[in-house]
Chains A and B, each alone.
Chain A
């Protein structure tokens, strides 16, 4: 009964979303206050209905109501409560409902925080948000009903995919969803601005924080996904250019480009068309990514079980693509650039280069992701482009991007004088050069020397900016160093938070370079007591330990690590293999890891014989990997500082307008 009500709620939500969307569009066009208010109310009511539907599905999952097909397929009695809770987004229908839930949350936030501002734009924003909600509600009602009942009442569920029974795996889709879904808000604002012809800088200013926060979640989600792949999949890497990884990476690239190029529009009144196009592409890539992971058009380890959602997505994508394009073409005369770029050594030129690079990386990645599909259609042969393609094309582009990231903050708007060049670039270039030469001499490796030199250069510019900022504060107000730092963040968070984000990216880049060029690995079968030498370590196998858990058996192989030179014990690691009761043919491996700031020792247990008298391992030494996760934390911290609202904002409007970093001056 209650599940029928759940379905009815979804049907009601569909109708409501359609009504609200129309109310928003018509209300905005006719400047009708009643209809506009209706669109607000529809947003709030929609969120209530969706939350109720989600609550019903959660109730079904937590109370083991296996008569609901979704619960039956994605849960089981013995599943720990935490995973029962997260099973809501473990399967197709549930995750679509979860999408809708987050989307409703964002719609409410966007409507509520702007309820007294942007009166011309807001009805359209509500309409676009509700339009997106309508699409997902239609999917749930017509193609993937989460409340569908099984024809009988099963005794127990089939269990959650073991690969998903991991904390990172539970968290990273949530982060990705928040990031993905949140990017609908800036898109809605762009549509609103175009429709209402309010094409001044206002929408751009407002939208910055609405982009920055989802961007942060998307970044964190991608990194957590990498972490999951690293910890759980056991192939020694963190990124495989898999279609689904690319699906999350593509909107990240265009959103990052957007965050940078809106600064130029704000400052110089140029790139207006480009900005509108970028956020449109971002939103399209979000929907495309959701589509590709759910329709089976691309082959990936991540794909959901196929269902009938594909055609719906296609129609929606056509509407987004051509609807927006039509609108953009119609408004082109209103989007003329106010000025032109004057010099190649100006900051806006650097921003332009940044945008071209991001667009280039996005295009190459899109091409590589869809190439197998195209090649199969055109030649009948499915030619996959593997990681080497992406690395070869995107590697140099990222290198340029990091160099630019170092250089751009040192350039002035409009042009940079020769004097300023000398003052700004001497130290960072020196640091970069020394690092490069040192690495080249130490390891005799060209590419990593260049890459790490670029990283050092970019890091040095950030440090230089901080040192100068702190010094300036100490001179003018005599503050202590920590207080000066705090004040930099508080008063000019956009700029100095942005630098922190850059620092995070530099750290991640360094980790990638370390892994790409200095990874060592070996495959060994060790008898109990035997050992192997890898890198600077000697690793000895000391026996297999089985361990019974609620819904699986855990087999751990105990290994001791010694320093090869001194023979000192450094620690022990325990790579494991979990055999699940429900799906014994699909064991998961739990990597054994010893993490240090210099390098990770990473061991996978592949198998064993006769109760563990011998065991087979794959072992890796992954240099600098820890910095990837540290860089991620720095990035999140920087984004928070850059987007933190502070009371002094209005007063420092002028300072804002020169701030380099991407934050928000929305309110």
Chain B
């Protein structure tokens, strides 16, 4: 506390000399710097606008060409949709907390065991879940096809899912041939969709 008075007098004594030690930079440079600064801000806003437009456009559930995605399975294997070109792909969004998902879990696994040698790949993407619970779910139904968490819901957003389960049937050309909202109810329904994507 002893130094209070010193500081006060210092502040008062300090000469009030505007820009004594800060020479103004050349006017040309100032304009350039301002332009750069404004340009960066402008770019940011434009990117935001672009992104907003893009988001609103992708509001709807994916159709046509299947949006690409890459994920890492619970076993640590990385799988990319691009690598599966030429095969039929069934992408199933599920979660351990989702009761309707349980209705189709066994059916999916059976279909996979039957079809894996016919050029059809099943992929399970775990939507908004906790890993232990998800693993318990997979173990409960003895699911063996590649499954992994949909981190940050990236694939879910791209496919525009509205809930789980949703299943996308993608043909060997990479087009979405069928979309199923809610669980797949029976063998016949599954078979009719698989027929569309069998290469």
Stretch in B91-99, B117-125, B168-176, B187-195 touching the partner = B91-99
Minimum CB distance partner of B37 in chain A = A325
A83: shortest Cβ distance to chain B, in Å? 22
Residues of A within 8 A of B153 (CB): 299
Chain B residues, CB < 8 A from A584: 99
0 or 1 for each of B1-27: is its CB under 8 Å from A? (1 = yes): 111100110110010111111100000
Minimal Cβ-Cβ distance residue in B for A586: B97
B55 touching A295 by the CB < 8 A rule? yes
Q: Is the CB of A310 within 8 A of B52?
A: yes
- Give chain A residues whose Cβ lies under 8 Å from the Cβ of B56: 296, 306, 310
Q: Known: A412-B7, A413-B11, A607-B133. Is A336-B96 also a contact (CB below 8 A)?
A: no
Which residues in B have their C-beta under 8 angstroms from that of A314? 45, 48-49, 52
Interface stretch, picked from A397-405, A558-566, A654-662, is A654-662
Interface string of A410-422 (1 = CB under 8 A from B): 0011100000100
0 or 1 for each of B117-158: is its CB under 8 Å from A? (1 = yes): 000000000001010110010000000000000011110010
The answer to whether A297 and B41 touch across the interface, beta carbons within 8 angstroms, is no
Are A523 and B3 in contact, CB atoms less than 8 angstroms apart? Answer: no
In the complex, what distance in Å separates the CA atom of A376 from the CA atom of B97?
Answer: 30
Partner of A472, one of B1, B151, B163: B1
Query: A165 contacts the other chain (Cβ, under 8 Å)?
Result: no
Q: Which of B14, B48, B128 has the largest count of A CB atoms less than 10 A from its CB?
A: B48
Interface secondary structure of B, over-half rule: helix
Q: Which residues of B contact A235 (CB under 8 A)?
A: 130
Please tell me the size bucket of the interface on B.
Answer: 35 or more
Q: Does A329 contact B (CB under 8 A)?
A: yes
Contacts of B14 in A (CB 8 A): 268, 339
Contact of A299 among B20, B48, B99, B157 (CB under 8 A): B157
- B59 at interface (Cβ–Cβ under 8 A)? yes
A658 touches B50 (CB 8 A): no
User: Please, which residues of chain A bring their CB within 8 A of the CB of B106?
Assistant: none
Instruction: Check B51–A297 contact: CB distance below 8 A.
Output: yes
A338 touches B17 (CB 8 A): yes
User: Contacts A297-B48, A318-B45, A374-B47 hold; do A384 and B151 have CB atoms under 8 A apart?
Assistant: yes
Instruction: State A329–B99 Cα separation when bound (angstroms).
Output: 60
Q: Are A337 and B22 in contact (CB under 8 A)?
A: yes
Given A317-B45, A607-B136, verify A296-B7 contact (CB < 8 Å). no
Which A-chain residue is minimally distant from B16 (CB atoms)?
A: A338
Chain A residues 574 to 620 lying within 8 A of chain B, measured CB to CB, are 584-587, 604, 606-607, 616, 618
Report if B114 contacts A (CB, 8 A).
no
- Alpha-carbon distance A279/B45, docked complex (angstroms): 19
At the interface, yes or no: A529 with Cβ under 8 Å from chain B?
Answer: no
8 Å CB contact of A654 from B8, B47, B157: B8
Contacting A338 at CB < 8 Å: which of B7, B18, B132? Answer: B18
Complex: how many Å from CA A350 to CA B152?
Answer: 39
Chain B neighbourhood of A374, CB < 8 A:
47
Q: CB-CB < 8 A to A655: which residues of B? A: 4
Interface residues of B in 56-114 (CB under 8 A from A): 56, 59, 96-100
Task: Say yes or no: A618-B130 contact (C-beta < 8 A), given A297-B52, A299-B153.
Answer: yes
Among candidates A306, A329, A472, A618, residue contacting B132 with C-beta atoms closer than 8 Å: A618
**Cβ A299 vs Cβ B19 within 8 A:** no
CB neighbours of B20 from chain A (8 A): 339-340
Say yes or no: is B36 at the interface (Cβ < 8 Å to chain A).
no
B47 touches A657 (CB 8 A): no
User: Once the chains are docked, how many angstroms separate the CA of A299 from the CA of B51?
Assistant: 12
Contact across chains for A321 and B151 when beta carbons are under 8 A apart:
no
Check A657/B1 contact, CB under 8 A, given A299-B153, A607-B96. Answer: no
Is A646 among interface residues, defined by CB-CB distance under 8 A?
no
State the Cβ distance, A320 to closest chain B Cβ, in Å: 10
The verdict on A469 contacting chain B, using a C-beta distance below 8 Å, is yes
A606 contacts which chain B residues (CB < 8 A)?
Answer: 130, 132-133, 136
The answer to whether B22 touches A336 (Cβ under 8 A) is yes
A residues in contact with B100, CB < 8 Å:
585
* Shortest beta-carbon distance from B161 to chain A in Å: 13
Contacts of B21 in A (CB 8 A): 339-340
Q: Complex: how many Å from CA A573 to CA B182?
A: 37
| A234 at interface by CB-CB < 8 Å | yes
User: Which residues in A have their C-beta under 8 angstroms from that of B51?
Assistant: 297, 373, 376-377
Contacts of A604 in B (CB 8 A): 130
CB A306 to nearest CB in B, in angstroms, measures 7
A658 near B4: Cβ-Cβ < 8 Å: yes
Among residues of B, the one whose C-beta sits closest to the C-beta of A588 is: B97
Q: Scan residues 494-536 of chain A and give those whose CB is less than 8 A from a CB of chain B.
A: 523, 525
Closest chain A CB from B99 CB (angstroms): 6
Chain B proximity mask over A302-343: 1 for CB below 8 Å, otherwise 0: 000010001100100110011001000100000011111000
Given A337-B22, A338-B17, the answer on whether A377 and B47 have CB atoms closer than 8 Å is yes
Within the assembled complex, what's the spacing in Å between the Cα atoms of A414 and B20?
16
Chain A residues, CB < 8 A from B180: none
> Closest approach, in angstroms, between the C-beta of A337 and any C-beta of chain B?
6
Contacts A321-B45, A606-B133; is A414 near B10 (CB within 8 Å)? yes
- Determine the distance from Cα of A311 to Cα of B97 in the docked complex, in whole angstroms: 36
Residues of A within 8 A of B164 (CB): 585
Residues in chain B near residue A523, CB distance under 8 A: 132
Q: Which residues of chain B have C-beta atoms less than 8 A from A325's C-beta?
A: 37-38, 41
Complex Cα spacing A472 to B1, Å: 7
* A311 and B133 in contact, given A322-B41, A338-B16, A338-B17 (Cβ under 8 angstroms): no
Q: How far is the CB of B163 from chain A (nearest CB, A)?
A: 8
**In the bound complex, do residue A412 and residue B132 qualify as a contact, i.e. CB atoms below 8 Å apart?**
no
Contact of B99 with A468 in the complex, beta carbons under 8 Å: no
Which residues from chain A contact B37 at a C-beta distance below 8 Å?
A: 325
Are B8 and A299 interface neighbours, CB within 8 A? no
Interfacial chain A residues near B55, Cβ < 8 Å? 295-297, 306, 310
A100-122 contacts to B, CB under 8 A, are: none
B5 CB to nearest A CB, Å: 9
A311 to B45, CA, bound (A): 11
Instruction: Check: A267 CB closer than 8 A to any chain B CB.
Output: yes
Q: Are the C-beta atoms of B99 and A306 separated by less than 8 Å?
A: no
State in angstroms the CA–CA spacing of A657 and B9 once bound together.
Answer: 11
| Best-buried of A269, A413, A420, A469 by chain B (most CB within 10 Å) | A413
Which of B1, B96, B130 counts the most A-chain CB atoms under 10 A from its CB? B1
Nearest 5 CB-CB pairs, A to B?
A: A340-B21, A606-B133, A472-B1, A310-B52, A336-B19
Give 13 A-B contacts (CB < 8 Å), ordered by A residue. Answer: A297-B51, A297-B52, A299-B154, A317-B48, A325-B41, A413-B7, A525-B136, A585-B100, A606-B130, A616-B133, A655-B4, A657-B8, A657-B11
Chain A residues engaging chain B, CB cutoff 8 angstroms:
234-235, 267-269, 291, 295-297, 299, 301, 306, 310-311, 314, 317-318, 321-322, 325, 329, 336-340, 370, 373-374, 376-377, 382, 384, 412-414, 420, 468-469, 472, 523, 525, 584-587, 604, 606-607, 616, 618, 654-655, 657-658
Listed in ascending order, the chain B residues whose CB lies under 8 Å from chain A are: 1-4, 7-8, 10-11, 14, 16-22, 34, 37-38, 41, 45, 47-52, 55-56, 59, 96-100, 128, 130, 132-133, 136, 151-154, 157, 163-164
Q: With A310-B56, A336-B18, A338-B18 given, can you name 14 additional A-B contacts, CB distance below 8 Å? A: A267-B11, A291-B48, A295-B52, A310-B55, A317-B48, A336-B19, A340-B22, A412-B3, A469-B1, A584-B99, A606-B132, A654-B8, A655-B4, A658-B8
